[in-house]
Structures are given as structure tokens and as C-alpha cells.
Structure 1
Amino acid sequence: MNANFFFDRAVKSLDRYQYEKALKYFRKAVEYEPNNPVNHCNMAGILSETGDYEGSNTVLQHILDKVEPSMTECYFYMANNYANMERFEEAEEALVTYLEEDSSGQFMDEAEELMELLHYELNRPAKVNRIKSREGMVEHERARELLEEGKFAQAVKMLEEIVADCPDFLAARNNLALAYYYTGRFAKAKQTIEEVLEQEPGNLHGLCNLAIFFQHEGKMEERNRLVEMLAATVPFHQEHVFKLATTMGILGKHKEAYGHFRRLSKDEEFSSDPSLYHYTAAAACNSGHYEAAEKYWRYAKKLDQESVIPDFYLAQLQQRQATGTKVMKVSYHYHLPFEEQFKRWEYDGEVMTEEARQNPLIRSSFFWALRHGDPHIKLQVIRTLELIADDEVQHALQSFLQEPGEDADLKDAARLVLQQLESKRSRNQERETQEVLPDWHPDWQKVLDQATQMMDKRSDHFWKRELEVLWSEFLSKLYPDIPNIRNTAGWAAALEYMTAKRRGRAYTYEEVAVRYGISSSTVRRYVRQIEQICSNDKQDDENFRPFTENI
């Protein structure tokens, strides 16, 4: 008699629904092979079937602690046992551990069903940081949201990390190319999409993006060859239909775009989106189908009654008919044309609403125009960005100042806006600091003084202000448990290193350590302390919204 003998007896007992006998035989199998996790797992399964969920979990925990720690499915079994005992908090903890540790994803469908149950019972979603069997997908979804919100710099950073960790994650690589494209980094965008097509030559998102890049570069022969192939493509998946429709519009193939958009407008998933009807109307108008364009803009108006956009284009159609104009070309952007929108903000006294500030279509258009618009458009964009006034705007204006070929007057205007943003931020920071820090200790000031003195020849006013904000933020979050600041040079060096990192300049610990006369390990230690407190809040085609690749 050996473990297999008792295993066979246990299975036969199970077939006859003789659970007590099956449990006895599985216990004997465990005695003969105590290091075989399968026997333990079978015993836990019998206990769960008989309602002894507590005993089952004890066995499962023993497997993880003593027998086979890599047997991550035990967490899933434990989650089910806890759920049967209505201990939902512990069930959630076990399930999250399973999702974050299990690489095979054997029970993913069942885990999603259990997650829905726990969401209902706990009245909140579970906090899953990552799903190991779907490596990078949670992070990718967040990066996709950042893209669609117009927060391109943050999206680039997150997508670069995903691609570095998961080189074959083509959806993330496609979206990274898109993020590069919308920030004007065309060489990086093209390189990234070529990497996609090296791995999968028929990737539709990659082919569409490559065609746009060829048009941007003026490589019309390559562009036309690719457009001819895309024009003959009829995608099955709706997101591919949308991608192809938007690409055809950007490339000036309005008739093909119109066909694809019409197909989407008949789909229930898309038919409630007013922007889709605007795209369809624009494609119809640009193809010369003015009656159809009017119909689709009226659909858009019905769905988005508060928007002025459908009314604007309907008025344009009436004006065309009244003046006898033969051709009318319109932008696919679902917002007013630049000149019209600026006129309303600057001359008609309209206020930019919070919705407009956060609208990714408007934001992406502004960032695009700041890099590629005519000088008068760039000036209008710079003035308008002051109304948005967030970190993304600050980053865009700082990048604009670093462009060597930009007009000096435009750079002066950008500097003025940056100064106003910095001044406003400084006032807010001072108010917050005063509320949190009733007294400013002389030792804290010594750190600032040494850091700003060392940075004098290598930085401007904005860098120094960033350093002050970082130091105040660090102290405010620690207060009242602020440690004694004895090593002034160490803290000052760490502040300079962190400020440079936030501004996109790469210093090494050794470089900073030499300047301050301390060891690189000292710099690293103080940087780590600042990062632990402050890092959670700070993140180191022209015609369409950024349509991201979903999965």
C-alpha cells in the first residue's frame, strides 16, 4: 500500500458520494506523501464540500506555509471558503492575493465572478494593483485613461514602463506611439510603431498609424501604397472599424471614412455618442453629401442639446447654401474650430468652463497647435493655456521654451504665463504650509539656502521654486513628526537631485555627491526618504481625439 493506493480508494469513494471515506483515504495519502501538495489540496476540497470551510482553509494555509508556497491557486480556494462563511473582507484579501500572484490565470473567469459578488457585498470595488496573469493590463487601462484625458506626459511615462516590462504587449506599444505623436515626438512615435509591425506585420492599429506618419513626413509613395491596402480592408471588430474610419479621415479619404462611420452609427454601442454623429457628418460634408451631413448634425444636436457645436456647423451649411459655395471642408474635431473658439473666449466674453479645461479633444488640439500651428495660433494657445493651468500645461510650456527654432516673442509670452502659474502655485503652497507649519525652523531654511546656492549657475527661477515647493511639501506631510535636520548637505543634495528628476534632467547620485562633498550613499538615503513621502502625488492626428487601442 502506498499513496497511490489510498488516492484511488479516495476517488472511488468520491464517485459514490462517500465523503467521510474519501476524506479518510486522502488523509492516509497525505501520511504516505506529506510533501505532495495535490494530496493536501484534495483533502481541503473534501472538507469544503462537507461544509468545513475553516478546516479546508487550515489545510490550504499549511500548503502555502510548509509544502508548496508557489501553489497560488490555494488563495482562490481560500477566497471561496471565506465567501461561503460570509467573511467577505478575508475573501477579498485572498482573492486579490490570487490575482496578484498567480501567473497562469487558471481561474480568471471564476475570480471575476467572485469579484463581482464581493463588490456587491462590500459595496465597493476591490483594490487590485495588478493582475499577474494579465501582466500590465491594469496599468495599461490607466494609461489609456490618461491619454483620453489629454494627460500625455503622464501616459508616456506609464506606457514606457509597461513596454519595458512587457515587450510583446502590442496594445501598450501602439498607445505609446500615439502618446509620442500627440506630444510631437514623431521620430519616437514612428520608431515605436515600427517595433509593433516587426512583431505583428498585420497589426491594424500599427498600419493606420504608420500611414499617418508617412503623410506627416511627406512620403507620399509609401503613404499611397499603404492607403490603398487600408481602403480595401473591412474590419470585423468595431474598435478596428473606428480606428480605420478616423485614419481615413486624417488621410483625406473622406468617402471611405464616411462608409465606416455610417456602419458604426448603426451599432447600438456607438449610436448614443454625439461625437460619432459629428464625425459621420464631417465625413459626409467633406465627401460632398451635404444633406446627409445635415441629418447627422441634427442627430448630434438631439443627443447633445447643450452643445453649440452642432448648431455652429448647421449654420455653416446654411451659409454655404445661401452664398452658393460649392465645397465646404470641416474638421473632424468635436469642438469648435480654433479661430471660432478663441473668438468666443477673447471677444465674446465667454468663460472657459471646467468641462472645457478637462476636455481631452480641446487639450490635445492645444498641445498640437503649440508645436505645429501658425505663430498667431500659437500665441492664442499660449494665452488660453493660462486658463487651464495644470501640471500638463506647465510641462508643455517648459518644453516649448526648450525648442531652439521658436520665435523669441512667443517664448516671452510662454515665460510670462509660466511665471503667473508659478506665482499662483507659490501662493497656494505658502497658504498650505502656513496652515500646517506654524513655525519655520532655521535648520529647514539652511537646507534651502545651501541647495539654492549650489543650483545658482545651473538653473532658473522655476527650478528654485520647484525645490522650495518640494521641501515645503515634504515637511508639511511629516509635521509634527519632522526629524532633526542635522545633515544639511545631505538633505540639500537630495532636494537638488529630486528637483532635477522632476524637471526631466538626469543626474547621478555621484554627480550630486561630489558637488556637496558627501558620499553617493548619503544622497541616495535622503532621496529615498523624500520619495517615500512625496512620490505618491507627483509623476516624474490633428483631426481626432487620441483614439487608444483597447483590449
Structure 2
Amino acid sequence: MKKNRIRMEDMPANVLRLSMDANFFFERAVYSLDRNRYDKALKYFRKAVEYEPGNPVNHCNMAGILSEMGDYEASNAVLSAILQDIDPSMTECYFYMANNYANMEQFEAAEEALIMYLQEDAGGQFLAEAEEMMELLQYELGRPAQLKSIKAREGMIEHELAREWLEEGKFAQAVKQLEEIVAKDPDFLAARNNLALGYYYLGLFPQAMEAIEEVLKRDAGNLHGLCNLAIFLQREGNTAALDKLRGLLRIVVPFHQEHLFKLATTMGILGEHATAYVHFRRLLQDHEVNRDPVLYHYAAAAAYNSGRYPAARALWQQLVKLDPGSDIASFYLNRMDDAGRQGEYPSINYHYNLPFEEQLKHPEKWKNGFPPEIRDNPLIRSSFFWALRHGDSRTKLQVIQALGLIADQEVEEALLAFLLVPEEDEYLKDIAVLVLRSLGVKGPVPVRKGGATIMVDPGKIGSGLPVWRSEWQAVVDLAVKRIGKTTDLRLRHNIETLWVDFLTRLYPDIPAMAHIEGWAAALDYLTAKMHRKSLTYEEVAKRYGISPSTASRYARRMSQVCNVQGRDDTFLFVQ
């Protein structure tokens, strides 16, 4: 008997058609999973794969079921097929494979898969679990893993290093590193914030403002960005914008420790000492940081600057116990006692160090270079770099000489940049070249002079003479050597300037240089007189191992040629 077949078009309109597609089987699989029917779930996931063989999610679900059922090899075969044939970007498959290998106690294979996950997965969805598994594998294998990088943390290690450089005062190095990080990841806001600070410390104010504006363009409520902007506005003197932002920051109550510390220090810099004190007191209640001597000093400074003198005294007294090897707390306690006797309480700095002027009361101690507490102090370094760009001529001269005592790669880069600033005084550039020479910089360096960039060799004295003979150089080298290492680079510069002046006036009829000690003594004596330094012919003769009459003869000859009579140091250099 022939059965009657019902055609689809003859079905009543109120009968729902059953759509047999991948979604249908996926839903049936999930339904079976909820009831712990793994065999049925696996069957339905396989059907979903048949309907959509190019969908990696279906394959991944099937691999997950196989793993739950204990068939780790089959699961890894599916995961491997996903990576090889369907979607290599599904890097989480490496993490699943590592789990399967670990369950099979194939720890080396698990380590290999886990390393692939950490080095290839940018999202970091299972980053915490992967790091925990890596510790387990290192224990099982008895050795550390050969892990070169973690892609999900790309830039984090570099950023941490740049932060360390900022804290050490190595601003140029930090800025280079942060520029590279931001170029690779424009949305790395912490790096942008620190880049803005790096520019600021180097005195590159327009670049600092541009960097912080980029931060706030991407996240208008970024607290670090707002705090940095407030400091920059204060430096710029933009009172209207600063007052508006200051009012906003007054009512912010951060909960995270890092945000609280940033806001507290910012309010202190802005002169909002009462608000700063409230935030610092909150931090002192945090058991994770309440033994930090720096925090006690900040809180004491905020208390003192806001008129809470008993609270300030108590905090500094506590600091004496926390940091007994430091003189900082004792210094400020004594200063507060002096202020109390005088009835005036001038504001103090928040930085946890003795005031710069206190450290430099005896500059003769630093002839051979600054001690680490000065050389590596980021506040001092940043003030030097800032003054080099924004100070007056006298300040810049002092800074250039001080940088010669710091003498590191950061200083070298700052001075090389200074030589290329068109509007800087050429005399100051000459002094900068002298410092570079003392730092051992060899080979020509570019210097912007007279609207053009010229190449200057720091190892050689610049002059307009068509030749520069080795015996001429020997004279000035001897004079510089005998005066000893001095912080007064003007004296050294004037020795060179006077010598070039003397040779230029006589050229080409320059006398023989058989007696370099006599000429060096003459340079030493005459420049000392121009600097109003007390020096006799007997003293200078003893210094060079010649007779006083010889020193006098050479000095008179040089004085006649260069008309040194009546000249002083203002003739040779700008104050």
C-alpha cells in the first residue's frame, strides 16, 4: 500500500518548520551539557561541525567536550587542526592543548604549548591561569621555562623600565623608550602619562602638553592625566584653567592606593596642603604602605604647610624612628623650632631630601663630582635640565658646569641637544663643548652657529687659523692640566680663548714653541689676573718648574700682543 507523503507546501500555516542547522545542534549540545550528557553533547557538536566546518568555535567546543570526557589526545588533535587548517589566530587553543598535555603528564609538551600561548596571545584571556600553570610546570620539570616574552603584556616590561629611569632622573632614556611604546600602542595611557612627565622634566613643555592632551582626549576622566595637566597649567601660569581644574580635583576621593598617592602629591604641589594632608593621612592608614618613610615626610610636610604644627612634629618624630640613618627628619624638626622662635613658618618642599641649597653649602667638596645623593636625585636632575632650556644666561652657565660634575650619558645627550638650539648663546655652546670634551666625547659633533650647522671636534680647540699645530695644543693642554680639575669652566675657556687670540694676532709669524712650559705659565698667570685671582710669578713658576723671570718674560710678551693690560673676564665672556 502506497503511503501518502505530506509536501511542505501542503502543511498548515500554524505548524513550525524545524530548521536543521548548526545553531540547532549547538543548542541541543548545550542542553545536553546542562544535564551532564557528554556523549549526546559530543554527538550534537559533531553535527554542528558538519553543518559549519569552517566555524572554529564549533570545533573548539567539540575539543572541550573530548577533554571533559578524558580523551585528551583526541581533543588536542581537534585543537591542532583548528590552528593549522581553520583559524591560526585562535591562540587560546594553545592554552587548551597545554591543559590536555598536563593532564596526560606530558609536561614538556605542555610547556611548549603554554609558551606558544603566552608569546602569541595578545588578548590575555587566560593570562593569570597560564602563569599559574607555568609555575606548576617549572616545579614538575625542575627548571625555568625558556619564555622570551608575553604578548599580552607587550610593552609592560619596557614601560616598567622607563618608569624606573624616570625615578632615577634618566629622563632622556625614559622618553625614548616611552615614545617607542606609544608608537606601538597609542592607547597605552600610562605610558602616555609618563611620556608627558618625561618631556616636562626635560623642559620640553609644548611636547608635555601635547602628550597629556592626547591622554585626556582618549580618557577625559583619567586621574593621572588630570593631575599632570594641573601641574603643567601651574607652570604655564594659566590661572583660569588651573582654578577650574583645581576645584574638580578638590572633590575627588580616590579609592585605589596609586590614585590616592598621585592626587595627594599633586594637591601638595598646587599648594592645596590641607587637602593633601587629608589624603596622606588616609594612606597612612593603609597597612601596605604605612611603614614608608617617604610617606611620613609627605604627610608631615602637608601638615606643616597647612598650619598643623603639632601633627607635623609628631610625624617627623615618627620618621626619625622609621629611618634613623637619615638626617632629613631632624633637619626639618630643627627648622620648625627655628621658625617657631621667629614666629614665621615659611613653606617647605615635599621631596624627601635635604634642600638643594643645604646640600651645596660646601661646593668645594664636589670638585671630583657630585655624590650619588645629588647626582642621582631626580628632582635636582630635572631642575638642571629645565634650567638649561628656560633659565637666564648666568643660570645656564652654572647648570652646564654642574652637568659636567654629573657626567653621564643623560648629560651628554642634553648638551648635544643644547648645541643645536639656534637661539642659544654661542659662548654657552663653547662651554658645553668643553664639558663634552671632559666627558670624553670624541669626533665631530653638530653645533648651530651663525644660522648654520657646523661640525666641531670637542677634542680640538676651535680657531680661524688655517692650521693647528700639535705644539700649540700641547701648550694649552699643559696649562689646563696644571690648574687642576676646576668647576669654573670659564677659566679653562678663557685660557683657550687667550691662546687662540695670541696665535691669531701673530700668524704667520708665530715664534717657536720650544719652551711650552713658559707659554703655559703665561696663559695661567694672565687668565688668573683677568679672573681677579691672586697669583704671583713665583707661584706660577713653581707650578711649571721654571724660573720667575722666565714666567714674567713670556707673560709680558703675550700681554703686549693681546693688549691684556686692563682686560678682565668680562672682555672674554658673557655673564
TM-score, structure 1 normalization: 0.66
Tell me how far apart the structure 2 counterparts of residues 394 and 27 of structure 1 sit (CA, whole Å). 67
Distance 1:150 1:97, change over 3 A: farther
Q: Is the aligned partner of 1:67 residue 2:76?
A: no
Q: Is the aligned partner of 1:131 residue 2:134?
A: no
Match of 1:261 in 2: 280
Match of 2:437 in 1: 419
Q: Is the aligned partner of 1:197 residue 2:216?
A: yes
- Between 1:13-22 and 1:405-414, the stretch displaced more is 13-22
Amino acid at match of 2:236: E
1:233 is paired with a residue of what secondary structure?
coil
Q: Answer yes or no: is the 8 Å Cα contact 1:241–1:260 preserved in 2.
A: yes
Match of 2:56 in 1: 37
Q: For structure 1, which runs of at least 5 residues remain unmatched after alignment?
A: 427-447, 449-456, 465-551
Distance 1:4 1:378, change over 3 A: closer
Q: Answer yes or no: is the 8 Å Cα contact 1:197–1:207 preserved in 2.
A: yes
Per-residue CA distance 1:95-119 (angstroms, 9 max, x = gap): 3433443354433443343345456
Match of 1:332 in 2: 350
Superposition pairs of residues 348-387 of structure 1, within 5 angstroms: 352-353=370-371, 357-372=375-390, 378-379=396-397, 381-387=399-405
How far 1:461 sits from its partner (Å)?
A: 2.6
Q: Answer yes or no: is the 8 Å Cα contact 1:92–1:126 preserved in 2.
A: no
RMSD over equivalenced CA pairs, Å: 3.9
How far 1:74 sits from its partner (Å)?
A: 0.5
Tell me how far apart the structure 1 counterparts of residues 350 and 189 of structure 2 sit (CA, whole Å). 27
Q: Is the aligned partner of 1:461 residue 2:457?
A: yes
Tell me how far apart the structure 1 counterparts of residues 299 and 340 of structure 2 sit (CA, whole Å). 20
Tell me how far apart the structure 2 counterparts of residues 175 and 117 of structure 1 sit (CA, whole Å). 36
Amino acid at match of 1:187: P
Superposition pairs of residues 88-107 of structure 1, within 5 angstroms: 88=107, 90-107=109-126
Q: Answer yes or no: is the 8 Å Cα contact 1:285–1:328 preserved in 2.
A: no
Superposition pairs of residues 435-474 of structure 1, within 5 angstroms: 459-461=455-457
Distance 1:343 1:57, change over 3 A: farther
Q: Answer yes or no: is the 8 Å Cα contact 2:23–2:48 preserved in 1.
A: yes
Distance 1:364 1:58, change over 3 A: farther
Distance 1:26 1:248, change over 3 A: closer
Match of 1:522 in 2: none
Tell me how far apart the structure 1 counterparts of residues 78 and 108 of structure 2 sit (CA, whole Å). 20
Q: Answer yes or no: is the 8 Å Cα contact 2:119–2:151 preserved in 1.
A: yes
How far 1:153 sits from its partner (Å)?
A: 2.1
- Between 1:352-361 and 1:299-308, the stretch displaced more is 352-361
Distance 1:214 1:104, change over 3 A: closer
Superposition pairs of residues 230-379 of structure 1, within 5 angstroms: 230-322=249-341, 324-343=342-361, 346-347=364-365, 352-353=370-371, 357-372=375-390, 378-379=396-397
Amino acid at match of 1:131: K
Q: Answer yes or no: is the 8 Å Cα contact 2:437–2:459 preserved in 1.
A: no
Aligned residues: 432
Distance 1:258 1:346, change over 3 A: farther
Q: Answer yes or no: is the 8 Å Cα contact 1:37–1:68 preserved in 2.
A: yes
Question: Which of the pair is proportionally richer in helix?
Answer: 1
How far 1:243 sits from its partner (Å)?
A: 2.0
Distance 1:189 1:7, change over 3 A: closer
- Between 1:206-215 and 1:25-34, the stretch displaced more is 25-34
Amino acid at match of 1:368: W
How far 1:256 sits from its partner (Å)?
A: 2.2
Q: Answer yes or no: is the 8 Å Cα contact 2:250–2:275 preserved in 1.
A: yes
Q: Is the aligned partner of 1:397 residue 2:415?
A: yes
Per-residue CA distance 1:257-302 (angstroms, 9 max, x = gap): 2222222222223212211212222222222333322222233333
Distance 1:343 1:86, change over 3 A: farther
Q: Is the aligned partner of 1:218 residue 2:237?
A: yes
Amino acid at match of 1:335: N
Distance 1:385 1:8, change over 3 A: same
Distance 1:55 1:288, change over 3 A: same
Amino acid at match of 2:181: I
Match of 2:469 in 1: none
Q: Answer yes or no: is the 8 Å Cα contact 2:98–2:109 preserved in 1.
A: yes
Tell me how far apart the structure 1 counterparts of residues 302 and 262 of structure 2 sit (CA, whole Å). 14
Q: Is the aligned partner of 1:157 residue 2:169?
A: no
Distance 1:177 1:85, change over 3 A: same
How far 1:251 sits from its partner (Å)?
A: 1.9
How far 1:383 sits from its partner (Å)?
A: 4.1
- Between 1:347-356 and 1:280-289, the stretch displaced more is 347-356
Amino acid at match of 2:457: H
Tell me how far apart the structure 1 counterparts of residues 127 and 164 of structure 2 sit (CA, whole Å). 23
Per-residue CA distance 1:213-237 (angstroms, 9 max, x = gap): 2222222233223223322333333
Tell me how far apart the structure 2 counterparts of residues 349 and 383 of structure 1 sit (CA, whole Å). 11
Match of 2:9 in 1: none
Distance 1:294 1:55, change over 3 A: same
Q: For structure 2, which runs of at least 5 residues remain unmatched after alignment?
A: 1-19, 445-452, 461-575
Q: Answer yes or no: is the 8 Å Cα contact 1:6–1:26 preserved in 2.
A: yes
How far 1:66 sits from its partner (Å)?
A: 1.7
1:459 is paired with a residue of what secondary structure?
strand
Q: Who wins on radius of gyration, i.e. which is larger?
A: 2
How far 1:13 sits from its partner (Å)?
A: 7.3
Amino acid at match of 1:129: S
| Percentage of pairs with the same residue | 63
Distance 1:196 1:5, change over 3 A: closer
Q: Answer yes or no: is the 8 Å Cα contact 2:299–2:315 preserved in 1.
A: yes
